Amino acid sequence: MAPGTGGIERAYTDRTPGSAVLARRARKLLPSGVVHDSRHIRPHGLYVTEAKGAHKWDTDGNRYIDYFGGHGALLLGHNPPEIIQAVSEQLARGTHFAASTEAELRWAEAIARLVPSAEKLRFHSSGTEATQMAVRLARAATGKPRLMRFHCHYHGWQDDMTTGYASHFDSGAPAGVPGATAALTLALDPYDEETVARHLHEDDDIAAVILEPLGAATGKVPLSPGFLRRLRAWTEAAGVVLIFDEVITGFRATPGGVQAETGVMPDLTTMAKIVAGGLPGGAVAGRADLFDSLDFDASARTGREKIYHPGTFNACPLSAAAGAVALDMIADGTACARASARAADLRAGMNAALRERGVAWHVHGRHSAFHICLAPALVDLLPDPDDARLASLGRAGLQAQPPDIARLLRLALNLQGVDFSGWPGGLVSAAHTQVDIEETVAAFANALDMLRGEGVL
């Protein structure tokens, strides 16, 4: 029986009293009570105490089938025994030596075996740091200052990457970012290929182009391989560094990322999440010559200034141990294929539930990602990222969704024991079983009925 008006939120509050108490405590010290913007939801988010495989449990003992997946870091699911063993063994040996380790070398070699464009690489503590270094490497190599990025593609929260992600699509300056810094970022609509090509042909001050190779939000607004090939040709002709942000798609789309699938080779690739086996860590990899500005000998030989790059937790031994083992587990493609197959079943089941109820939404995605499109205007377009009508809708049309429905949908799913991300959608892991998928489809169907009972569908 669907709750009455306001019933979803009341039922959620009743089911999660322990999380509510912790949320009130957190708001006294943490802005909005969270440490990551995506964890903010009214009336409060979940406080999780443990996880295993595809499941997690909140402080009230409620179990959830998890599709947040550590914000994309957990292709292998929560706590794989092999990674737990590797981290435990390293923990016993030490957590930080302020010295080089064989573990970091094994980790680097594992990346180089899988990522086709990885001739050299450098480790960081996060994806944000990796993209920041990629841009600096591009500027050092080209001597040019400007960065081209695409609307709504996410590359971290540093100053260079805030313009044109969630706001300021006119390349204006977001709060806390100097206008002079924002002016160095050219934020464009990737579906306006004529404008993209024109800037690359005519502007002589662009150092790099950075993008998510599947499209914004891991393909929520998809790009086609055809665009990647054209962009590669334009950047090569212009002498502009092409950066693929594979922080989520790396080792998930395929063991070698989107570049291995499409054959389109970037000059630099940024990585995090899966690359560190679910622990903190990131890396930038790519053409060997672009790393000369990090190399003491190469800088001395060329007379060019070396980029200074410290970092207390670069290649932290715990992350190195987890990352090397995780990449070895992923290398044969079985984990990627299993997660992608489960995701395909999930998308099909959710779309069937939508059709049965006459709800004009659509669930789409590639590989192990899924996105719930709440904008009826897009339902016939998103399965085909080459459809020219995508460009005509514009950014507002592509991101449109009815007010508050995504929040209520997530709460309704939580009541059914399922946790989606706020896209809305999520990521499937290799640990999800067919039973998990079937339970999720049933939960989604029940959530739709609850939303209809609330009068919001």
Burial label, 209 (beta-carbon count in 10 A; 0-12, 13-18, 19+): buried
Domain holding 450, by residue range, is 7-78+333-454
185 and 47 both lie in a single domain: no
Looking up residue 212, the CATH number of its domain turns out to be: 3.40.640.10
Per DSSP bridges, beta strands 120-124 and 63-66 are unpaired
Q: Which of 260, 185, 249 is nearest to 215 (CA)?
A: 249
Q: What is the value of pTM for the model shown?
A: 0.94
String of b and e for 420-431 (b: at least 16 CB within 10 Å)?
A: bbbbbbbbbbbb
Considering the domain boundaries, does residue 277 fall inside one? yes
Res 398: pLDDT: 55
Res 186: pLDDT: 95
144 and 275 both lie in a single domain: yes
240 and 126 both lie in a single domain: yes
Those residues whose C-beta lies under 8 Å from the C-beta of residue 272, and which sit 6 or more positions away, are: 73, 124, 126, 127, 130, 247, 281, 282, 283
221 and 293 both lie in a single domain: yes
Q: Please state the domain count of the chain.
A: 2
> Average pLDDT by consecutive 10-residue portion of the chain (457 residues)?
68 98 97 91 96 98 98 98 98 97 98 99 97 98 97 89 78 86 92 95 98 87 87 98 98 98 98 98 98 95 94 97 98 99 98 95 92 73 55 56 84 98 93 99 98 91
118 and 179 both lie in a single domain: yes
22 and 152 both lie in a single domain: no
274 and 197 both lie in a single domain: yes
Looking up residue 53, the CATH number of its domain turns out to be: 3.90.1150.10
Helix (H, G, I), strand (E, B) or coil at 57: strand
14 and 91 both lie in a single domain: no
The residue among 269, 300, 330 that closes a domain is: 330
312 and 206 both lie in a single domain: yes
Those residues whose C-beta lies under 8 Å from the C-beta of residue 375, and which sit 6 or more positions away, are: 397, 398, 399, 400, 401
- The residues facing 362 across adjacent strands are 373
> Residue 274 carries which side chain, given as an amino acid letter?
I
253 and 349 both lie in a single domain: no
Considering the domain boundaries, does residue 104 fall inside one? yes
Considering the domain boundaries, does residue 2 fall inside one? no
Res 5: pLDDT: 46
The residue among 330, 357, 377 that closes a domain is: 330
- The residues facing 57 across adjacent strands are 50, 63
Tell me the C-alpha to C-alpha distance, in Å, between residue 154 and each of 183, 215, 365, 426.
18, 10, 17, 16
The residue among 280, 306, 330 that closes a domain is: 330
**Residue spans of alpha helices (H) in 400-433:** 405-415
Res 1: pLDDT: 36
Q: Which of 65, 18, 68, 63 is nearest to 44 (CA)?
A: 18
Considering the domain boundaries, does residue 264 fall inside one? yes
